Amino acid sequence: MLCQHFGTCGGCTLQNLSPDEYRAHKRQGVITALEKAGLGDVPVAEPVMAPLYSRRRAVFKIEKIRGAVEVGFHARASHAIVDMRECMVLTPALLKSTQALRAALALILHDGEKAELHATDSDCGLDLSFRCERKLTPALTAALASAFAAKGIARILFNDAMVMEEAAPAVTIAGARVLLPPQAFLQATAEGEAALQNHVLELTKGARNIADLFAGLGTFTLALARKARVHAVEQDATLLAALAAAARDTSGLKPVTTEKRDLFKLPLTALELKGFDAVVLDPPRAGAQAQAKALAASKIARIAYVSCDAASFARDAAILAAAGLRPGTVNPIDQFLYSGHIELVAGFERSGR
């Protein structure tokens, strides 16, 4: 069954494929990327699919047109907004929020006024962060707080300024409660996050001292720290602080240390990597070319690489493979349902280990 917006909304492009065609398409994208990088012999598993109605974060486009507020995603190849009435990808709470947004913002926005909303479905309610050209005033603060009262909203920010906070937005990662900084990066689905964690834990099994690079909020740090010492490296200070606080407040963890560092400009060197027996990588879409080169020059024996872009992963995998770090099976985890994107995780082991 197709969403009523399919073909117009730019969010989903593959919903018309049969389940078998869809899985084959996602898997083939990974295979093609590996072949282009000279790694056509690397096995690729069948994708693990996130369930429908599971995506817990979204960026909505908003505009008031002739007295009515439209909320949704951009239309395909257009800046027009598809006024969302149905979505088979978002969590029910996020989809329901679009109804509340229309009613609340109709009394606040001027005709022709636009806004952008970063929305996250946290454990204790929705975390909403608006971007708008209008400045926040006491009157606007009061209007927003009143309009969204008693609607399951944990926090509202407007151009980074606090409007209201009924509860500190938080998520549970590997049993640890992590407070969310505004607009924090979070794995798209809880189910996809768990699948990635399980693979990373298996790939680093037995390691006692692990470097978690591009650690973010601690998706892997907090899971790994149940069994090993972890050094978490991340450029975003707010994410790193949230990770460190969660580690301190969670019992039963091995020591967790943190380091603020731009790994694109200053990757960990072979000398710095000497004390670790495994490395976890989870870079943004651009990949981790500089860090991959440093890992290739090191004596690291095991790597678990998580990626949200098959092409940049394949490029980095070729660098590692050329240095004797053999890639194992690549496991696609489809957190981006019906889109052209795919998450994946794979292990690398040094020859002769």
- Alpha carbon distance 148, 190 (integer Å): 26
For 15-26, the pLDDT digits (tens) are: 999 999 999 999
Q: Label residue 1 by pLDDT band (50, 70, 90).
A: confident
Does position 45 have pLDDT exceeding 90, yes or no? Answer: yes
Q: Label residue 352 by pLDDT band (50, 70, 90).
A: low
What pLDDT was estimated at residue 149? Answer: 83
- Alpha carbon distance 155, 6 (integer Å): 31
Tokens 């892997």 belong to residue: 220
Interacting residues of 138 by C-beta distance below 8 A, sequence separation 6+: none
Does position 312 have pLDDT exceeding 80, yes or no? Answer: yes
Does position 277 have pLDDT exceeding 90, yes or no? Answer: yes
**Mean local confidence (pLDDT), 300-322:** 98
What pLDDT was estimated at residue 305? Answer: 98
Q: Could you tell me if 33 and 341 are in contact, meaning their C-beta atoms sit under 8 angstroms apart? A: no
Q: Label residue 301 by pLDDT band (50, 70, 90).
A: very high
271, burial (CB in 10 Å: exposed 0-12, middle 13-18, buried 19+): exposed
Coil/strand/helix, residue 246: helix
For 186-208, the pLDDT digits (tens) are: 999 999 999 999 999 999 999 99
Does position 85 have pLDDT exceeding 70, yes or no? Answer: yes
What pLDDT was estimated at residue 353? Answer: 55
Catalytic residue among 9, 12, 87, 308: 308
Domain annotation for the chain: domains and CATH numbers: 19-50+188-350 (3.40.50.150), 57-171 (2.40.50.1070)
Q: Label residue 55 by pLDDT band (50, 70, 90).
A: very high
Name the packing angle between helices 289-296 and 310-322 (round to 10°). 20
Active site residue 3: no
